Amino acid sequence: MAWDIINDGGILMKVLVLNNDEMDRSVIKQVLQHNGHEIIMAGNTNDAMQIIQEGGIRLVIVDRNSTDADEKQFIKRLRDADTPNYIYVLLIASKVQDTDITTPRAGADDYLHKPIVPLELKSRVHIGQRMLGLGDNLVNAKGSLEKTAIFDPLTKTLNETAFIALARGELERARRAQLPLSLVALQIDDFDGIKDKHGDVIADDVLVFLAQAIREKSRPYDSVGRYEEGIFLIPLPGVIGQDAEKIVSRIVKGILNTNISLLDGTALDLKLDTGVVSSQRISASMEIEMLIDKAIEAVARAKQSGDNQVHTIFI
């Protein structure tokens, strides 16, 4: 492997930075070195590809505005390259298009708007660390990354297995650091009714819309997983009670303010049931399955309270 395990559960990585903006390079270097990563700078795509071919790179930070990355189709070339391990790509851009963030092996894994904010960069790199670590753990368990799906093929969120593995890691970190942890569950109200009335294709489109909306309205560093057919889960490390409810309310409000129409122009009245489970301190006996069960219980109570409600359970 091209990294070493460190005490806080993260990984030390060899990071390639393709960027010609001196101010951005300084910020990136400061953030990465503070976290112990090895940094290799490149000014053009040819140099960058040569470095990648030499091996060891696990994360690439590429600036589309200050380099020839777009002109030379750098990300596509990287994805087509025969690298021994998956390389996580963080795209820096003044404006991000929908096509920039696609499924793995087709585009960037995440993006960062300019100007770069150090805290946000740190969070995005940490997401890359977690995803690469999760992927390699699954590879070790099953022998091949390509045979071990991390993402739900429909919604492109983490699938149930991958999400539980990631959430279990968040639980352990919260337990060790004696920090609070919340888990959010969002469910489409009467999803079976949507399927019966409009068919499976429309129901799948609703799931795709909801997953995209959750990612857009949640915080940049939050992970989203699909659990069961119409339920999505979001862990909130270090967040509890009212703070968790504020984050959830912003997500729900953003989704409900979006007009959803069928091809014939008929408006689809989407309703959500949302549950939050919060723990001030993770006990030695608490497991992630317990939090998930409580979050789904909170969803059921929200449903009983009426449309688009949020219910919180403290444990």
Q: Averaged over 275-285, what is the pLDDT?
A: 91
Ramachandran angles phi, psi of 187, nearest 5°: -130, 135
At residue 99, the pLDDT reads: 53
Whether the pLDDT of residue 244 is over 80: the answer is: yes
pLDDT band at 114 (very low <50, low <70, confident <90, very high): confident
What is the distance in angstroms between the CA of the first residue and the CA of the last residue of the chain?
39
At residue 136, the pLDDT reads: 66
Q: Where in the chain is the domain with CATH 3.40.50.2300?
A: 4-142
Mutual angle of helices 200-217 and 191-198, in 10-degree steps: 140
Task: Measure the CA–CA gap between 176 and 199, rounded to whole angstroms.
Answer: 46
Whether the pLDDT of residue 251 is over 50: the answer is: yes
From the centroid of its chain, how far is CA 252?
Answer: 18
Ramachandran sector of residue 85 (left: φ over 0; alpha: ψ -120 to 50; beta: rest): beta
The CATH class that applies to domain 4-142 reads: alpha beta
At residue 162, the pLDDT reads: 87
Domain range 160-314, CATH architecture: 2-Layer Sandwich (3.30)
| pLDDT digit string, tens, across residues 62-103 | 998 999 998 889 998 998 887 888 899 999 988 766 555 444
Q: List 226's β-bridge partners, or say none.
A: 232
> b/e string for 232-246 if b means 16 or more Cβ within 10 A?
bbbbbbebbeeebbe
Query: How distant, in Å, are the alpha carbons of 64, 78, 158, 294 from that of 73?
Result: 10, 9, 27, 46
Query: How many CA within 13 A on the CB side of residue 97?
Result: 5
| pLDDT digit string, tens, across residues 2-44 | 333 333 345 678 999 999 999 999 999 999 988 888 999 999 9
| Residue 96 three-state SS | coil
At residue 139, the pLDDT reads: 55
Query: Is the pTM above the cut of 0.85?
Result: no
Q: Where in the chain is the domain with CATH 3.30.70.270?
A: 160-314
* Sequence-ordered list of residues with C-beta below 8 angstroms from that of 238, at least 6 positions apart, any chain: 174, 179, 180, 181
